[in-house]
Structure 1
Amino acid sequence: MSTRAPKKTRNIPCEECPLCASEAFRDFEGGELSYISGFKRGELVAEAGSAIFVEGSNSPHLYTVISGWGFRYMTLEDGRRQILNYALPGDFLGLQGSLLDEMSHSVEALSDMVLCVFERDRLFELFKAQPALGFDITWLGAREEQMLDEHLLSIGRRSALERAAYLLAFLHQRANLVGLFNQTNVITPLTQQHVADTLGLSLVHTNKTLKKLQNRGIISWKDTGFAILDIDTLKHIASWDGLPDLKRPFI
């Protein structure tokens, strides 16, 4: 984990938010963007490896990911880690802490990240003043639950090969939708250890499984990440139809 704590800044006006220019997200209506501009308290810049949330802690803030990758995880007392999901641009972090006072999971920056900062104590104010934005937050929470259902199905019923194919196809499609690839198909800086901790497999078993996909020319990988060479075959192996093609909200 990085020894540097995330830094607070305020350099990105809401009207110039890069997410607003993305076709992946719905347009704001009426005075919604102006309200969010007043609701926002700045940005957080986090280096790869920095802790955004720590399991069991309280945080006064909520975050929207503007750029970069992060991941949510839980740990056992002996240090074994289960990665629950990945945070990409547009995702809303910290809602659990707003409702339950403390986080039951941690969030770490997988790459350098920039996040919008909001005050947790003002969340109910947003629901009252902007019900449509409140619905958007509910939608984001429901979508996160839907993704976790798919992950649980994968860990519980898919074979190791199917699990790996599903995870890489899922991350590829999510990253592609929000423009994280920059004209490449490399999921970076995802490592084999991250994949193992997501799939619930040992590192040795994960390595053997990924080699099967690589030997078939479906993926390639280096220490810097995974290149997706055949997304359709990955989806076919996983028996997964892919994410719905719709514009999603963000706060």
Structure 2
Amino acid sequence: MAGQNEGSSTRRYPCEKCPLRPLPLFREFESQELAFISTFKKGELAVDKGATVLVEGSHSAHLYTVLSGWGFRYKLLDDGRRQILNYVMPGDLIGLQGTVMGEMQHSIEALSPLLLCVFEREQLPELYRKHPGLAFDITWLAAREERMLDENLLSVGRRSALERASYLIAFIFARATGLGLNDSKPMQIPITQQHIADTLGLSLVHTNKTLRKLSSRGLIVWRDGGCEVMDPEALQKLSGWSGLGDTRRPLV
């Protein structure tokens, strides 16, 4: 589990100079909200690739917002089988479940080096009492997570293997594009075929065959560093997914 030795004196990015805030994807803070978030944030935490940020069943004194990097949420069965629930990207709030429910019901692992903004869980009630706009933002983020899980459940339950893989890659691509993570063309998503198999509920062999079909159509290219997306529009059409839409979202 990631260590928690960060402090406000080690900040690289004050909230007033957050590199995510200027992105058109995020709504603007009001001045009093920004002032509160600046005191709410206690520091930053760097997490190595492959490290576990939060563990299912753990109690954490902190909430985190992803400042940079990729990760994923997952659950394990007793025999070690893994179900990946969703992918974590910049701007995502993690650890809220542990705050509300008392303990985490899933784990979070870093797909790449992560930089996290660290918030004290004990200050969350003050946020709800004094800043209803920020309280709505947190509720919005929780509802958004539920919406994404709904779509993932639809994939696992009703989409074919080819449609599942197309949806997952198109979905990750769309999220990353909104965050400006596609500066390199084509975009490379830092996941393995095992990650995709564990997300889609397929065997690794079935996943490999499915991805080869997408590759043969010129939609993706698989490399050692992950999946390169060549034709996101075709992936979206193949999956029958309508896309993310243009709604601006909160950033806490």
TM-score, normalised on structure 1?
0.96
* 1:199 equivalent in structure 2: 200
Asked whether the 8 Å contact 1:172–1:185 carries over to 2, the reply is no
Asked whether the 8 Å contact 1:32–1:130 carries over to 2, the reply is yes
Q: Counterpart of 2:199 in structure 1: which amino acid?
A: T
* 1:91 equivalent in structure 2: 92
The number of aligned residues is 249
Distance 1:87-1:7 versus aligned 2 partners, 3 A rule? farther
Aligned to 2:20, the other structure's residue is in SS state helix
Distance, in Å, in 2 between the alignment partners of 1:60 and 1:209 is: 42
The offset of 1:183, in angstroms, is 2.8
Distance, in Å, in 1 between the alignment partners of 2:97 and 2:41 is: 19
Distance, in Å, in 2 between the alignment partners of 1:173 and 1:26 is: 18
Matches within 5 A, 1:22-171: 22-171=23-172
* 1:243 equivalent in structure 2: 244
Distance, in Å, in 1 between the alignment partners of 2:218 and 2:190 is: 20
The offset of 1:129, in angstroms, is 1.3
* 2:235 equivalent in structure 1: 234
Distance, in Å, in 1 between the alignment partners of 2:72 and 2:4 is: 16
Asked whether the 8 Å contact 2:21–2:251 carries over to 1, the reply is no
Distance 1:5-1:60 versus aligned 2 partners, 3 A rule? closer
Aligned to 1:205, the other structure's residue is in SS state helix
Asked whether the 8 Å contact 2:84–2:195 carries over to 1, the reply is yes
The offset of 1:161, in angstroms, is 0.3
| Overall identity of the aligned pairs, in % | 58
Asked whether the 8 Å contact 1:186–1:225 carries over to 2, the reply is no
TM-score, normalised on structure 2?
0.96
Distance 1:124-1:5 versus aligned 2 partners, 3 A rule? closer
Q: Counterpart of 1:136 in structure 2: which amino acid?
A: D
Aligned to 1:44, the other structure's residue is in SS state strand
Asked whether the 8 Å contact 2:220–2:230 carries over to 1, the reply is yes
Distance 1:6-1:194 versus aligned 2 partners, 3 A rule? farther
Listed as ranges, the gaps of 5+ residues in structure 1 are none
The offset of 1:235, in angstroms, is 0.7
* 1:224 equivalent in structure 2: 225
Distance, in Å, in 2 between the alignment partners of 1:199 and 1:185 is: 23
Q: Counterpart of 2:79 in structure 1: which amino acid?
A: D
Listed as ranges, the gaps of 5+ residues in structure 2 are none
Distance, in Å, in 1 between the alignment partners of 2:140 and 2:166 is: 27
